[in-house]
Amino acid sequence: MSVFSGLEEIVEPNHVLAPHTWYRLGGPADYFIRPRTVEELREVIRRCGENDIPSHVLGLGSNLLVSDEGVRGAVIKLTGEQFEKVEYQNDQVTAWSGAELTQLVMHCVEKGLSGIETLSGIPGSIGGAIRMNAGGRFGDIGSAVESVTLMDNKGTLFEKSKPELAEVSKITSEPIDGEVGRTSEVAMLCSFVQLDKAIPLLLDMRDDLKAVRKTTEATLEETKAIRKTTDTTLEEIKGLREDIQPG
């Protein structure tokens, strides 16, 4: 019986990861899993733990290089309606980990909410941005995040708030039961972000932020083109090597 019996709709064995990364690099994962609900995620995490299968959470792949040899274990992609939700309540935002950071920034600006506008143009998911504390010289996402909800490798939900958020990057990749070489990532489900009320100047920034995003998307297309050219060059080199092989 398969480890993921009954979950065939969301589990793809030997799934190539290249289409899920910005640089279109990466071999196959043993299991590529896209849970649709928190309960499905919990079941996936539980089975991985019971069968000693390492699990890794994949965001938008914008800051990620994957070996052509692929990834052993399960790669979990938090996407779809459940994990891409963003909920607004006055100046407070609950953003799920699969939501896109650039879209969140734009929507907050359109609503006149200030606090994360300096992150415009930084690609990635909310979960990935928080784990790496995305930002730059003018600010980072950590300054706006009040708390995060996570799921451990046994499927248990727990919350981390300031000042514990400094430990989020560490706890999302700790060894299982302290065993070196056997790790399983903690999944970040959602975050609670505290922003400031409308600032008139912020509304004037909308066109500028759209331009930044357009530039970022153009850079991605250029990167794809470079990758395609590199692949072509490598094939030509292989052809030349075959031609000069001693007979």
What gap in Å lies between CA 236 and CA 231, rounded to an integer? 9
Grade residue 245 by pLDDT with cuts at 50, 70 and 90: low
pLDDT, tens only, 24-38: 889 999 999 999 999
pLDDT of residue 56: 93
Grade residue 183 by pLDDT with cuts at 50, 70 and 90: very low
Q: And the tokens for 157? A: 């939900």
Cα end-to-end distance, the chain, whole Å: 51
pLDDT of residue 178: 36
Number of H helices and E strands in the chain, helices first, is 7, 11
Q: Which amino acid is at 214?
A: K
Q: Residue 142 in contact with residue 130, Cβ under 8 Å?
A: yes
Q: Kindly state the percentage of the chain with pLDDT values over 90.
A: 41
pTM of the model: 0.76
What gap in Å lies between CA 51 and CA 182, rounded to an integer? 12
**119: nearest Cα among 96, 138, 94:** 138
pLDDT, tens only, 84-130: 999 999 889 999 999 999 999 988 888 888 888 888 888 899 999 99
Res. 200: pLDDT tops 60: no
Question: How many residues can be counted in the chain?
Answer: 247
Highest mean pLDDT among 38-42, 166-170, 192-196: 38-42
Residue of higher predicted confidence among 123 and 237 = 123
Average pLDDT over residues 135-145: 86
pLDDT of residue 46: 93
Give the three-class secondary structure for 66. Answer: coil
Res. 199: pLDDT tops 60: no
Burial 181-212 (b: 16+ CB within 10 A, else e): eeebbbbbbbbbbebeeeeeebeeeeeebeeb
Res. 244: pLDDT tops 50: yes
pLDDT of residue 229: 62
